């Protein structure tokens, strides 16, 4: 009974840990990523209209469905704009974005919220989980925003917020036209010597530590086997490292086979003699019946 309880407890614990991990792949992975308050001469929506917008970003490696979650600009009303459920477009792919238009006309579609930004004062935007209570992310956009300059995270999903003169709706905030790592290698290690030395050092260190550990393990193992043998009253060989005769015989046989690794090509003879087979498993019932499970 105790064992069953223990097992059940362990199972529950594992389930809890596992579901906690799953949660991490859900709406809690969403972040408010970029906001444009004054859209004077910028991105237009499907109706050809310009308005402020909020970009959400899925930081996780799994698809997140934000249907049923809430967007709001009111601290006292977390459920101000419920994102409609059942829209395939609310399934946000890993590391992808969703853009919501702050035009105050929710009837225009899933991605049009029922509030607008006030260009004259600071604006608050928050994203709530499906329960309308769990705050996932919030941001206060300072007052005095300029036209067509967005406020967003310097790198998607990370903490630092900056202004973007080059707005990036529905795409990465930071786009790279060069690979900094590679450029550094090209400039500072054009011969590849630094890479060779550092990488070989890491390989050697890794395998050297493994060597040291297993040298000690071997010593312990030999000592333990000697003690066991003594207890059992067996003779301990002077060199504990000897391989038994059977193993050596097996190795020799394998080597012999390796050296004699030449296939005989047997002559094949075509015959028309009928092979008599009175019994065929195809007609046997035992092969079509399932065996009773053994305990």
Q: Binding residues for another protein, per CB under 8 A?
A: 179, 181-182, 185-186, 189-193, 195-196, 198-200, 202-211, 213-215, 217-218, 221-222, 224-225, 240-244, 247-248, 251-252, 255, 258
Closest contact distance (angstroms) between CB of 61 and another protein is: 13
Comparing CB distances to another protein, the nearer of 159 and 257 is 257
Comparing CB distances to another protein, the nearer of 154 and 186 is 186
| Exposed/middle/buried for residue 185 (C-beta within 10 Å: 0-12, 13-18, 19+) | middle
Comparing CB distances to another protein, the nearer of 164 and 185 is 185
Q: How many CB atoms lie within 10 A of CB 39?
A: 24
Closest contact distance (angstroms) between CB of 188 and another protein is: 11
Give dist(CA 87, CA 65) in Å, integer: 9
Instruction: Answer whether 81's CB lies under 8 Å from 71's CB.
Output: yes
Closest contact distance (angstroms) between CB of 289 and another protein is: 24
Closest contact distance (angstroms) between CB of 264 and another protein is: 15
- Tracing tokens 């296939």 back to the chain, one arrives at 263
Instruction: Answer whether 102's CB lies under 8 Å from 116's CB.
Output: yes
Give dist(CA 235, CA 71) in Å, integer: 79
Give dist(CA 24, CA 62) in Å, integer: 9
Comparing CB distances to another protein, the nearer of 40 and 255 is 255
Instruction: Answer whether 138's CB lies under 8 Å from 125's CB.
Output: yes
Closest contact distance (angstroms) between CB of 217 and another protein is: 6
Label the pairing between strands 52-58 and 91-92: unpaired
Ramachandran angles phi, psi of 134, nearest 5°: -80, 115
Comparing CB distances to another protein, the nearer of 19 and 252 is 252
Comparing CB distances to another protein, the nearer of 174 and 200 is 200
CA distances from 17 to 22, 129, 189, 250 (A): 9, 20, 45, 48
Comparing CB distances to another protein, the nearer of 8 and 196 is 196
Closest contact distance (angstroms) between CB of 138 and another protein is: 33
Q: Distance between alpha carbon 188 and the CA centroid of its chain, in Å?
A: 33
Closest contact distance (angstroms) between CB of 244 and another protein is: 7
């Amino acid at each position: 009974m105790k064992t069953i309880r223990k097992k059940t407890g362990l199972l529950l614990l594992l389930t809890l840990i596992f579901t906690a991990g799953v949660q991490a792949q859900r709406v809690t992975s969403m972040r408010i990523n970029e906001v444009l308050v004054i859209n004077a001469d910028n991105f237009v929506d499907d109706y050809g209209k310009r308005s402020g917008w909020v970009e959400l970003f899925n930081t996780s490696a799994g698809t997140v469905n934000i249907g049923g979650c809430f967007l709001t600009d009111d601290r006292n009303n977390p459920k101000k704009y419920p994102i409609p459920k059942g829209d395939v477009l609310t399934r946000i792919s890993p590391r992808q974005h969703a853009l919501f238009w702050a035009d105050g006309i929710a009837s225009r579609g899933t991605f049009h919220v029922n509030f607008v930004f006030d260009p004259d004062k600071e604006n608050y935007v928050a994203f709530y989980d499906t329960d309308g209570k769990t705050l996932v992310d919030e941001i206060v956009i300072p007052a005095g925003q300029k036209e067509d300059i967005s406020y967003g995270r310097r790198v998607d999903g990370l903490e630092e917020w900056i202004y973007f003169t080059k707005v990036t709706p529905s795409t990465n905030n930071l786009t790279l036209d060069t690979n900094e790592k590679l450029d550094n290698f090209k400039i500072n290690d054009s011969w590849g010597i630094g890479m060779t030395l550092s990488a070989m050092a890491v390989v050697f260190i890794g395998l050297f530590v493994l060597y040291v550990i297993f040298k000690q393990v071997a010593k312990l193992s030999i000592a333990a086997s000697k003690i066991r043998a003594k207890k059992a009253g067996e003779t301990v060989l002077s060199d504990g490292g000897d391989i038994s005769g059977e193993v050596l015989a097996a190795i020799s046989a394998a080597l012999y086979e390796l050296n004699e690794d030449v296939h005989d090509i047997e002559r094949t003879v075509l015959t028309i003699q009928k092979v008599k087979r009175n019994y065929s498993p195809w007609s046997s019932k035992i092969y079509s019946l399932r065996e009773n499970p053994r305990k």
